Every structure is written in structure tokens, then in C-alpha cells.
Amino acid sequence: DLAAPATRSPALETLHRVFGYDSFRGDQEEIVEHVVAGGDALVLMPTGGGKSLCYQIPALVRPGTGVVVSPLIALMQDQVDALRNVGVRAGFLNSTQDFAQRQEVEAAFVAGELDLLYLAPERLSVEATVRLLDRGKIALFAIDEAHCVSQWGHDFRPDYLMLSSLHERWPEVPRIALTATATEATRREISTRLGLDQARHFVASFDRPNIQYRIVPKNSPQKQLLDLLRTEHPGDAGIVYCLSRASVEKTADFLVQDGIPALPYHAGLDKATRAANQSRFLREDGLVVVATIAFGMGIDKPDVRFVAHLDLPKSVEGYYQETGRAGRDGQPSTAWLAYGLQDVVQQRKMIDSSEGDEAHRRQLARHLNAMLALCETVTCRRQQVLAYFGQSAQPCGNCDTCQTPPESWDGTVAAQKLLSTVVRLRNERRQKFGAGQIIDILLGKTTPKVTQFRHDELTVFGVGTELREPEWRAVVRQLLAGNLLAVEGDYGSLVLTEGSTAVLNGSQQVMLRREPERTARAPRTSRR
């Protein structure tokens, strides 16, 4: 064809011919050319950014097989099917296969008949796999979900530590590590642990401008959710995340009763049901999946219009990854989270009772604290999320705090009243009490439990009538979020922290966020 430009690169040619796309996106072209030329790369790109092509195209252009290490075993079959559909010779090796199936894939690899081979990470700790790889020709190693190598990250997989040996065994094979989740610290850790010191770093912008971030006070979460779906997302596809299997089931039932087509998804359902619900969600229009975070890894549905969280995510990384499943098509989408006092109490308790050593618990607490800071911020949510990933931005004008800036107020006196009540209870009785009892005392309520413990005789009884109950709950929540108060034991008893002292003796001022009357508003941009 004389009209074809003479300089069309093999990479671009492959993009057109195999995948049918017109052009590369963002950094894709530079990454692909770099790896095709044999360079190592560390790629940070948000979910939906197009990481797969970054290793698939070099695997096709370079001689040999691209070996892809991925922890997402459940998705390998789908990935391989999708590639075969466009004529790519792909296979996978993982624990779901029987001996014959594995042998077939191994034979194809050795015969040089595979363009891409997907491997579960634990395969590489098996010596037989290493010997197998020695018998074929390797075009590159792609390490997907590379943040799994980070021991202090939120998704550590011990098998990933083995991957440092790839380079020792095959020093001439280029490696490309990819992740959607990496702060500066995680990026450094990936680089060190995988021995990627020669790698070029490609860091894409993490901004998802079409996603509107909203975090609202949790009152009656299911009704709030229903309201959101009816007023802003009728007929839209979306994902609702809950912490427990039980609340997944309850919420899905609740939505179905109210005429919303909702499907549950959690690890307690049998495999067939899970697969059926997932494939219906992908194929049909306007379905809502109610799920634990087990759902979504690798889900590629472009028109997810909202992601709603009914419980607090454990980290900003998790929040960003889950909300990132909305709006892959670039259309306006909503990331909505309902958050309340009980979330803080529950998550702090979970950290206290979690397995692992003290350093691990401190790490979990750091993750949670960053998430809480995002919930309690009075500035732009997007700015705060991006700052967490080390990227600076202007206030977005689209998130809830930009649209309805929350007032802050001087809560020092309120905090002192609350903390002194905690002190009184600690001094006068050996027993400890939760937020409910403390707020009842401050409000001067003579409940049976108040009279039983003679809390109506305390000097602090009734000193807090200037605030209403939900406002006191917001004070408790924010003091917990700021580590000026802590929870202890199975009943969520409130106890002082080191930080409480400075508040009590007046040397620290406490600025609190006043919840706007209405925090929810439809996206600024007009929709479809």
C-alpha cells in the first residue's frame, strides 16, 4: 500500500491489526517502544488507563513469549479468551488446571507457539516452572499488580517476593512492572524489591476528572442509597460496596424490594452464582452489583455510572481503586460514600484485634488515618486524593466539598466537655462506656442506664445541651479520626489518648467540620 506511511512502527502496526485501535493513549506508546527496545519499566497508571497493552504489544513485537505474572487467577481464563478472540496465541498456568491442561500449555510454550503466557505467582516458586521457562524463549516479563510485592501495602502477596529472582535467572529479559496503586513510598519499595533500579518510571496522572467524589454523613444508609439511585442514577449500572457478606445480602434484598435490579456478590456465594452474577453485570444494562471488595479486580465495564460505599474503605488506595471502576468511558460518574461514627469504632477495633505484629497494626492504622482525613477534610476531596498519590492539583469545583464548602467551627469547648466526661467515668468507676452513654450524659438524659450507674449525679451531667445528638456523634467521630480519643475493647468503650491531654488543658485548639445540611448534589456536568 503506497499510501501507508513508511515509518509506521511495528508497535503501531500491531495496535491496528490485532486490537483494532487507532492510536495509543497517554504514555502507552513510549512505554511500548521502551520495552520493545529491551528496557525495564515501572508503570503507574490508574485503573482503566490501559496497562495491558503496555506489555501485550511488546510481547507480540519481540521474538518469544511474554510471561505475565498476575495474582488474578479468577480472571486468567477471561483474559486469555479475549486475546484468543483477536487471534493472539495465549495460555495460562495456575492451580485451577488439571495435569493434562497444564501439559498442553507447557508444550505450546516450549514449541514457541505462545505469544503470551499468564502465570500465577506461586508457579514461580515451583522449580519445574523455572525449568520450563528455560526451555522456551521469553520475550519479556510483565509483573501485573506489582504493588502486591509491597509488604506494608494494602494487598501484600508473599509469592511476589520471589519475583526478584527473575532478573538473576534471566538478566537479558526486559521486565515491566505495572500497578494502579502506588504512593511514592510503594513505588520505591516495588523498585527495590524487584531489583528494578535500571527501570524507567512512567507515572500517569491519577486524576479521574469525570468522577464526582462525595462523602456524606451516614444516617440510614440503605435509604440514603436508594435516594441516590432514584434521584440521580435511575436505570444506571453501578457497584455498591459493603464490608460484610451479611450486609451485602441485606442491601441487595432491600434494593430488589424497591424495584432496583440488584445482584449480590461475595466470597460466601458458590462459584457458579458469582460467575453468573458477574457476567450478567457485564453483559446486561442497568444492573447494580452489591458486593464485598472481592468484586471488581479486573472488571472492565465502561459504563459503571456510580460506585457507592456503605462502609468505610480501609485505605485511600482501596477507596481510589474501588471508585476508579466508575466512569471508565469518561462520562460523568459518581463516587459516593456514607460514613459515620460506627465506621471509625468498628475499624479501630478490627485493627486492634488483627493478626500480625505491632508494626503491621501501625501500618493499618496509618492507612485508616489517611482515609479518615479524607472523610473529614474541609478542602477539595480530589485534591486530597491526588496529594496522597504525590500529585498536586487545583480544587476541582466538582466534589462535594468544592460545591458546598463545609464550615469549620471551634469545637475546643465541646471536645473538652466530652473528654472530661470520659475522664470522670474512668475515675469514678472502673467501668468504661461507649459513645451512646457519654452523649446521653452530656445531653442530660435520664435513661435507665444513666440512673443505674448514677451518672445523673456527675458534674458533667447535662452540660452539653448546646449541641444535638447527631452533632455530638460528629464530635466523637472527628475526635476519633484525629486520634484525640480512642476506642477499646469489644463494646467500643471510649478512652483517652496521648493527644487528649493537650485538649483538656487548653493547649490545643480543636477545629471541627460542620456537616452541611445538604451534602449531596448532582454532578456539575450535564449527563448524557
Phi, psi angle pair for 412, to nearest 5°:
-60, -50
Q: What does 157 interact with, of Zn ion, ligand ADP, none (CB < 5 to 8 A by kind)?
A: none
C-alpha 109/C-alpha 51 separation (Å) is 24
Q: Closest separation between CB of residue 506 and ligand ADP, Å?
A: 51
C-alpha 328/C-alpha 347 separation (Å) is 30
Contacting residues for 168 by C-beta, under 8 A, at least 6 apart:
195
Q: Does 48 bind ligand ADP (CB under 6 A)?
A: yes
Strand stretches in 104-221, DSSP E: 116-119, 138-143, 175-179, 200-203, 211-217
Question: For the chain, how are helix, strand and coil distributed in percent, rounded to 5?
Answer: 45, 15, 40
C-alpha 445/C-alpha 452 separation (Å) is 12
Q: What does 50 interact with, of Zn ion, ligand ADP, none (CB < 5 to 8 A by kind)?
A: ligand ADP
Q: Closest separation between CB of residue 293 and Zn ion, Å?
A: 25
Q: Closest separation between CB of residue 30 and ligand ADP, Å?
A: 13
Contacting residues for 226 by C-beta, under 8 A, at least 6 apart:
254, 255, 258, 260
DSSP string, 380-411: -HHHHHHHHTT------S-SHHHHSPPEEEE-
Q: Does 11 bind ligand ADP (CB under 6 A)?
A: no
Q: Give yes or no for a contact between 245 and 312, defined as CB atoms under 8 angstroms apart.
A: no
- 53-82 residues near ligand ADP, rule: CB under 6 A: 53
Comparison of 258 and 300: residue with beta carbon closer to ligand ADP:
300
Q: Closest separation between CB of residue 103 and Zn ion, Å?
A: 55
Identify which range of 19-27, 354-362, 469-477, 498-506 contacts ligand ADP by CB under 6 A: 19-27
Comparison of 123 and 382: residue with beta carbon closer to Zn ion:
382
What would the grid cell of residue 139 be?
Answer: 520475550
- 396-425 residues near Zn ion, rule: CB under 5 A: 396, 399, 402
Q: Does 24 bind ligand ADP (CB under 6 A)?
A: yes
C-alpha 114/C-alpha 156 separation (Å) is 30
What would the grid cell of residue 91 be?
Answer: 495460555
Comparison of 307 and 380: residue with beta carbon closer to ligand ADP:
307
Q: Closest separation between CB of residue 31 and ligand ADP, Å?
A: 11
Comparison of 79 and 292: residue with beta carbon closer to ligand ADP:
79
- Residue span 347-386 as binding mask against Zn ion, x where in contact by CB under 5 A, dash where not: ---------------------------------x-x----
Closest to 241 in 3D by CA, of 314, 342, 141, 162: 314
Q: Closest separation between CB of residue 57 and ligand ADP, Å?
A: 10
* List 52, 150, 278, 334, residue binding ligand ADP (CB under 6 A): 52
- 288-307 residues near ligand ADP, rule: CB under 6 A: 300
Q: Closest separation between CB of residue 46 and ligand ADP, Å?
A: 7
Distances (CA, A) of 79 to 260, 262, 275: 30, 26, 15
Q: Closest separation between CB of residue 161 and ligand ADP, Å?
A: 23
Q: Closest separation between CB of residue 520 and Zn ion, Å?
A: 14
Identify which range of 3-11, 21-29, 69-77, 123-131 contacts ligand ADP by CB under 6 A: 21-29
Q: Does 51 bind ligand ADP (CB under 6 A)?
A: yes
- DSSP element (H, E) containing 450: helix 448-452
Q: Give yes or no for a contact between 32 and 57, defined as CB atoms under 8 angstroms apart.
A: yes
Comparison of 65 and 398: residue with beta carbon closer to Zn ion:
398
Comparison of 394 and 505: residue with beta carbon closer to Zn ion:
394
- Measured from each CB, the residue nearest to ligand ADP is 50
Helix axes 28-36, 52-61, angle to 10 degrees: 30
- Residue span 153-192 as binding mask against ligand ADP, x where in contact by CB under 6 A, dash where not: ----------------------------------------
Q: Closest separation between CB of residue 302 and ligand ADP, Å?
A: 7
Q: Does 321 bind ligand ADP (CB under 6 A)?
A: no
Comparison of 142 and 481: residue with beta carbon closer to ligand ADP:
142
Comparison of 24 and 433: residue with beta carbon closer to ligand ADP:
24
What would the grid cell of residue 106 be?
Answer: 507447557
C-alpha 178/C-alpha 143 separation (Å) is 6
Comparison of 46 and 411: residue with beta carbon closer to ligand ADP:
46
Q: Give yes or no for a contact between 438 and 418, defined as CB atoms under 8 angstroms apart.
A: yes
Closest to 192 in 3D by CA, of 141, 152, 133: 152
Residues linked to residue 262 through DSSP beta bridges, in sequence order: 288
Q: What does 396 interact with, of ligand ADP, Zn ion, none (CB < 5 to 8 A by kind)?
A: Zn ion
- Pairing label, strands 304-309, 511-514: unpaired
The amino acid at 14: T
Comparison of 93 and 402: residue with beta carbon closer to Zn ion:
402
Comparison of 159 and 300: residue with beta carbon closer to ligand ADP:
300
Comparison of 387 and 496: residue with beta carbon closer to Zn ion:
387
Q: Give yes or no for a contact between 112 and 83, defined as CB atoms under 8 angstroms apart.
A: no
C-alpha 523/C-alpha 211 separation (Å) is 9
Contact residues: Zn ion, CB under 5 A: 380, 382, 396, 399, 402
Residues that bind ligand ADP (CB under 6 A): 21, 24-25, 28, 45, 47-53, 300
